[in-house]
Amino acid sequence: MAERSYITPVWQNHKQLDSKSYDVIVVGTGIAGMTVSLSLDSKLRIALVSKEQFTESSTYKAQGGMAVAVGPDDSAEEHFADTVRVGQGVCREEAVNLLAGEGPAALEFLQSLGADFCHNQNGLDLTREAAHSRNRVVHYYDYTGKYIAELLADEVNRHNNIERLDRSFLVDIVTAQDGCCGCIVEHNGRLVYLRAAAVVVATGGYSGLFKRSTNEVSASGDGIAAAYRAGAMIADMEFVQFHPTAFTTLSGKVFLLTEALRGEGAVLLNSAGDRFMFNYHPSGELAPRDEVSRAILRESTRQGGETIYLDARHLGKEYLADRFRQVYSELAKNNYFIERDTIPIAPAAHYTIGGIKTDLWGRTSVGSLYACGEAAATGVHGANRLASNSLLEGIVFGRRIATYINETYSAKREPSELSAGVTAATGSYTDLNALRTKLDGVAGVVRRGEELEAMLKWLSVGETNHQVSPVDHSYHVYNTYQLAGLLVEAALLRTESRGAHYRSDFPGKNDETFRKHILQQWGRKAVIA
């Protein structure tokens, strides 16, 4: 990426800022952040920081469920194999082993807090989603994420050692010579320095950078941007997973139609009313998400841009209205009845695989800075996430971070000198709509080098005009531009097609060069390693 200019951080003289001290700061109130907070030693004073209410998190919006190998015909080895196959050769196998092997313990963790997932006569009602070889998705109807998030939030409120700091925006991560020592947040219009011996980033992903996304605009990867500026290694930013079946409401918002619908037998139809997925993949509607998304676009193009539809009519009203309560209700509000109508769908940005590179204990390249959940690049997803592995990842690696901190925690003395990447930056970041629209067209389901190069230049030009200041609350806007640049740069460097990254000018895999990861770090040239 082009060199950037920055102004001095507005908080450089930290002694003039309001400050508060904790033992551990956890940023993010999704499944990962709340799991860390609840798993830390109750003697530790914890700040649980979130820029919005927990109901705005991607966890809260998750519909399908949590993949875990607990069925009588399933095993951790089978779960491992499915995850690695979908990851297209770049999964970190040690991390996948942990994910699959610690899945039952993650389920027990939720059950110990009172979780009671859907059951049938044989026990847990395990459903199947795309690319799974077994029925292994634990769910609570079709609002599993909401159910889990509310359960965790209630438990957080019972812990006196956890202080909630809602509507507090992470501005920067603060470092000293021996690593991270806190962060700067904007709370009630003021900058506040939160001091701690450990900081955990669990702020979620960056799919909100795209115009058409199943997540809110607030999913702008702020924690990843802050960690990048603090010197943390970033990995896999080019891998953005698009969900094949997203519905556009009357208000123009994008609403996810859970993959569990196809797992239960819903099919995709073209405008002529014909099924087409088996023309593109032997697994049909249950092919990996990247394959289904590209097939939808190809079939639509083949028919001159006509709409593609999801058809679940044969499942019947009684079943659909009970099993898929959230979907049924939302579609009915928009004058669609899934037992009667075929539902118009198109892919939308849904989940981002890239993030802050971590080891198996959630440690980043910056001392005392940890990351988990969608903000982290643990390596479990490779080039394409297996459906319903994300909630599981948040718990498994959230608990591992807590275990590591519990075993190694020691308070730090206040350092005399602090530093960070920057808060403020140059850039006329006034037209987020233009950026998001451009990303849809340039870095969407199908990408091309010439367009990626042009967008990278466009982003660089946009970084030379105006300064961001705390007065105009533009931190998140700057983060959006910064992460868009990292995403496009990585997509341009990966001159092949693999998993969720598809280059029409390089449609094949190149294992010799690219069965690796693209790593990006502040002040250094991106590398393939």
Residue 500 CA: distances (Å) to CA of 22, 59, 237, 361: 39, 21, 11, 26
Q: Across the chain, how many H-helices and E-strands are there?
A: 16, 23
SS (H, E, C) 139-196: CCCCCHHHHHHHHHHHHHHCCCCEEEECCEEEEEEEEECCEEEEEEEEECCEEEEEEC
The whole-angstrom separation of Cα 505 and Cα 242 is: 20
Q: Residue 4 catalytic? A: no
Reading the block at residue 369, the tokens are 């800075």
Reading the block at residue 121, the tokens are 């006569």
Residue 157 CA: distances (Å) to CA of 29, 167, 242: 12, 16, 34
The whole-angstrom separation of Cα 17 and Cα 449 is: 45
| Among 289, 323, 399, 400, the one annotated catalytic | 289
Closest CA to 318 of 326, 332, 328: 328
* CA R_g for the chain: 22
Closest CA to 134 of 69, 80, 84, 86: 69
Q: What are phi and psi of 67, to 5 degrees?
A: -75, 130
Query: DSSP letters of 209-277?
Result: GSSSBSS-TT-S-HHHHHHHHTT--EE-TT-EEEEEEEEE-TTS-EEE--THHHHTT-EEE-TTS-B-G
Helices (H), 334-408: 390-408
Q: HSE (CB half, 13 Å, CA atoms) of 377? A: 31
What residues are annotated to the active site? Answer: 289
